[in-house]
Structure 1
Amino acid sequence: MLGAADVFAGVAGAVHDDRGLLHVGNPLREQQLLERGAALAALGDRAVVTVAGPDRLSWLDSLTSQAVAGLQPGESTELLVLDPNGRVEHAASVVDDGETTWLITDADRVAALTTWLTRMRFRLRVEITDRSAETAVVGGATSAVADLTARAVWRDPWPDVTVGGWGYAASEGHPATGRDWAEAVVDTSELERLAAQVRAGERAIAGRLAADALRIAAWRPRPSAEADGMTLPHEVDWLRTAVHLSKGCYRGQETVAKVHNLGHPPRRLVALQLDGSDAVLPEPGASVHHGDDEVGRITSVARHFEQGPIALALVKRSVPVDAPLVVQVDDEAVAAVQETVVPPTAGREAAPPRLPRLSRRT
Structure 2
Amino acid sequence: MTEFASLPGAVLDGEIVAHFGNPMIEQRLLAAGEAVVPVGDRTLIEVAGEDRLTWLDSITSQSVARLAAGESTELLVLDPQGRVEHAAGVFEDGTSAWLIADSDDADPLATWLKRMVFRSRVTVTVHTDAALAGFFAGGAAEERVPAAAPNGVPLVWRDPWRSVAPGGHQYAAVAQHPASDYAWCIAVVDSSAQLTGPFAGALAAEALRIAAWRPRWSREVDERSIPHETDWIRSAVHLDKGCYRGQETVAKVHNLGHPPRRIAALQLDGSDTVLPVPGDAVLSGDAEVGTITSVALHHEDGPIALAILSRRAPDGDLVVRSQGVDIAAAQQVIVPADAGATAGVPRLTRLSRRPVAPDPRDPR
Same fold (TM over 0.5): yes
Uncovered stretches (5+) of structure 1, i.e. residues with no partner: 198-202
Residue 331 of structure 1 corresponds to which residue in structure 2? 324
5 Å-filtered alignment, 1:230-269, equals 230-269=224-263
- Whole-angstrom distance in 2 between the partners of 1:360 and 1:131: 73
Counterpart pick for 1:127 among 114, 123, 127: 123
CA RMSD of aligned residues (A): 2.0
Residue 109 of structure 1 corresponds to which residue in structure 2? 105
- Whole-angstrom distance in 2 between the partners of 1:301 and 1:89: 23
**Which residue identity is paired with 1:99?**
T
Residue 168 of structure 2 corresponds to which residue in structure 1? 165
Uncovered stretches (5+) of structure 2, i.e. residues with no partner: 149-154, 357-364
Residue 201 of structure 2 corresponds to which residue in structure 1? 207
**Which residue identity is paired with 1:124?**
S
Identity of aligned residues (%): 55
**What's the CA shift for 1:345?**
2.1
- Whole-angstrom distance in 1 between the partners of 2:167 and 2:349: 27
1:4 matched to 2:4: yes
Residue 200 of structure 1 corresponds to which residue in structure 2? none
1:141 matched to 2:136: yes
- Whole-angstrom distance in 2 between the partners of 1:146 and 1:153: 12
Q: Is the 8 A contact 2:73 2:159 kept in 1?
A: yes
Cα 1:34/1:76, change in 2 over 3 Å: same
Q: CA-to-partner distance for each residue in 1:259-314, whole Å, 9 max, x for gaps? A: 00013101111000111111111111111010010000001000000000000000
1:20 matched to 2:16: yes
- Whole-angstrom distance in 2 between the partners of 1:170 and 1:343: 8
- Whole-angstrom distance in 2 between the partners of 1:354 and 1:87: 34
**What's the CA shift for 1:156?**
1.4
Cα 1:67/1:357, change in 2 over 3 Å: farther
Q: Is the 8 A contact 2:257 2:338 kept in 1?
A: no
**What's the CA shift for 1:123?**
1.3
- Whole-angstrom distance in 1 between the partners of 2:266 and 2:210: 10
**Which residue identity is paired with 2:280?**
A
**Which residue identity is paired with 2:337?**
P
Cα 1:81/1:353, change in 2 over 3 Å: farther
Cα 1:229/1:188, change in 2 over 3 Å: farther
Residue 295 of structure 2 corresponds to which residue in structure 1? 301
Q: Alignment partner of 2:145: what SS?
A: coil
What TM-score does the superposition give when structure 2 sets the normalisation length? Answer: 0.91
**What's the CA shift for 1:145?**
2.8
- Whole-angstrom distance in 2 between the partners of 1:188 and 1:209: 25
Q: Alignment partner of 2:30: what SS?
A: helix
- Whole-angstrom distance in 2 between the partners of 1:230 and 1:116: 19
What TM-score does the superposition give when structure 1 sets the normalisation length? Answer: 0.91
**What's the CA shift for 1:2?**
7.1
Residue 150 of structure 1 corresponds to which residue in structure 2? 147
Q: CA-to-partner distance for each residue in 1:95-154, whole Å, 9 max, x for gaps? A: 100000011111111111111111111111001000122x12111122423432213101
Counterpart pick for 1:53 among 35, 40, 49: 49
| Rg comparison, structure with higher value | 2
- Whole-angstrom distance in 1 between the partners of 2:30 and 2:3: 23
Worse-matched range after superposition: 176-185 or 290-299: 176-185
- Whole-angstrom distance in 2 between the partners of 1:189 and 1:290: 54
Aligned residues between the structures? 347
- Whole-angstrom distance in 1 between the partners of 2:231 and 2:268: 22
